[in-house]
Structure 1
Amino acid sequence: MLPDPRYHWRRLGSRLHRLRLAVHARGWRGALARLAERPPAPADPAAPGRPEPAAPLPAAGDGRRVLLVDVSTPRPDRDSGSLRAFNLMRVLAESGDRVEFLPDDRVDAGAYTDALRLLGVVVHTGAGAYPHWFARHLRGFDVLVVSRYHLAEFLVPLARRIAPGTRIVLDTVDLHHLRERREADLGGDRRLRRLAAITRRRELRAVAEADVTWVVSPVEAALLREALPQARVEVLPNLHQVEETPAGFAEREGLLFVGGARHPPNVDALRWLLAEIFPLVRARLPDCALHVVGDGLAAAVAGLPLPPGVRLHGHVPDLSPLLRRCRVGLAPLRFGAGVKGKINLCMAAGMPVVATACAAEGMHARDGVELLVADAAAAFAEAVARLHGDEALWTRLARAGTDNVRNHFSFDSARATIAASFPTARC
Structure 2
Amino acid sequence: MNQKKLLIIGFVWPEPNSSAAGGRMMQLISLFQKQGFQVIFASPAQDSDFMVDLSEFDVQKESIELNNSSFDSFIKELNPAVVLFDRFMIEEQFGWRVSENCPDALRILDTEDLHCLRLARQKAFKEKREFKVLDLLAEEVAKREIASILRCDLSLMISEYEIELLTTIFKIDAGLLYYLPLLLKREAIPELDKLHSFEERKDFVFIGNFLHEPNWNAVQYLKETIWPIIKKQFPEAVLNIYGAYPSQKVTQLHNVKEGFLIQGRAENANEVVEKARVVLAPLRFGAGIKGKLLEAMQCGTPSVTTSIGNESMQGNLQWNGFVADHPDTFVEQAIQLYKEKEIWLQAQNNGVEIIKNRYLKSLFEVDFSKQIQFLLSNFKQHRLNNFMGELLQHHTLKSTKYMSRWIEEKNKRSVS
Q: TM-score range by the shorter chain?
A: 0.7 to 0.9
The residue matched to 1:249 in structure 2 has which SS?
coil
What residue is the counterpart of 2:13 in the other structure?
Answer: 73
* Larger-Rg structure: 2
Give 2:162's aligned residue: 220
Does the alignment pair 1:279 with 2:279? no
In 1: Cα distance, 2:56 partner to 2:253 partner? 43
Q: Provide the residue aligned with 1:317 in structure 2.
A: 267
Q: Give the Cα–Cα distance (whole angstroms) in 1 for the partners of residues 173 and 375 of structure 2.
A: 25
State the partner residue of 1:121.
59
1:140 is aligned, of 62, 79, 91, to: 79
Structure 2 CA distance, aligned partners of 1:261 and 1:195? 28
| Equivalent residues of 1:346, 1:352 under 8 A apart | yes
1:234 correspondence with 2:181: no
Name the structure 1 match of 2:384: none
Deviation at 1:379, TM superposition (A): 0.6
- Alpha carbon RMSD of aligned pairs, Å? 2.8
SS at match of 1:250: coil
Pairing 1:356–2:306 present: yes
Q: Tell me, in whole angstroms, the C-alpha distance in 2 between the residues paired with 1:406 and 1:96.
A: 26
Q: TM-score, normalised by structure 1?
A: 0.78
Unaligned runs of 5+ in 1: 1-60
3-state DSSP of counterpart to 2:139: helix
Q: Separation in 1 of the partners of 2:340 and 2:318?
A: 13
CA contact (8 A) 2:284 2:308 kept: yes
Match of residue 104, structure 2, among 165, 185, 206: 165
What is aligned with 1:9? none
Q: Distance in 1 between matches of 2:25 and 2:210?
A: 20
**Structure 2 CA distance for aligned equivalents of residues 364 and 208 of structure 1:** 28
The farther-off stretch of 417-426 and 369-378 is 417-426
* Residue among 170, 176, 181 paired with 2:120: 181
Q: Percent identity?
A: 25
Alignment deviations for residues 253-281 of structure 1 (CA, whole Å, 9 cap, x no partner): 11110112211111111111111111222
Other structure's SS at 1:185 match = helix
User: Aligned equivalents of 1:189 and 1:71: distance in 2?
Assistant: 32
AA at the equivalent of 1:181: A
Could you say which residue in structure 2 is the equivalent of 1:155?
A: 94
1:421 CA drift (Å)? 3.9
Q: Alignment partner of 1:169: what SS?
A: strand
The residue that corresponds to 2:379 in the other structure is none
Is 2:337 the partner of 1:394? Answer: no
Aligned residue pairs, count: 364
Aligned partners of 1:410, 1:365: CA distance in 2, in Å?
14
- Is the Cα contact below 8 Å between 1:349 and 1:402 reproduced in 2? no
Letter in 1 for 2:269: L
Given candidates 97, 101, 110, the residue that maps to 2:37 is 97
* AA partner of residue 164 (structure 1): P
CA distance in 1, matches of 2:302, 2:154: 34
Partner of 1:262 in structure 2? 211
- Three-state SS of the structure 1 residue aligned to 2:156 is strand
Q: Work out whether 1:335 is the aligned partner of 2:285.
A: yes
1:345 and 1:130, CA in 2 relative to 1: closer, same or farther beyond 3 A?
farther
**How far does residue 364 in structure 1 lie from its aligned partner after superposition?**
1.9
Is the Cα contact below 8 Å between 2:75 and 2:98 reproduced in 1? no
Q: Secondary structure at the match of 1:67?
A: strand
SS at match of 1:112: coil
- DSSP 3-state at the match of 1:406: helix
Cα deviation, residue 152, structure 1: 0.9
> 1:233 offset after TM fit, Å?
0.4
User: What 5-or-longer segments of structure 2 have no aligned partner?
Assistant: 377-416
* Amino acid in the other structure paired with 1:230: D
Alignment of 1:51-70 (within 5 A): 64-70=4-10
Query: Residue 314 of structure 2 contacts residue 354 of structure 2 at CA under 8 Å; is this kept in 1?
Result: yes
Match of 2:190 among 213, 234, 243: 243
Instruction: Report which stretch shifted further, 220-229 or 89-98.
Output: 89-98
Residue 244 of structure 2: aligned partner: 295
Cα distance change, pair 422–264 in 1 and its aligned pair in 2 (3 A)? same
| Alpha-carbon spacing, 1:229–1:281, altered in 2? closer, same or farther (3 Å) | same
The residue aligned with 1:197 is 139
Q: Counterpart of 1:360 in 2: which secondary structure?
A: coil
Q: 1:418 to 1:196 in 2, by over 3 A?
A: farther
Q: Per-residue displacement from partner, 1:301-333 (whole Å, max 9, x unpaired)? A: 455584611221101121132122101111100
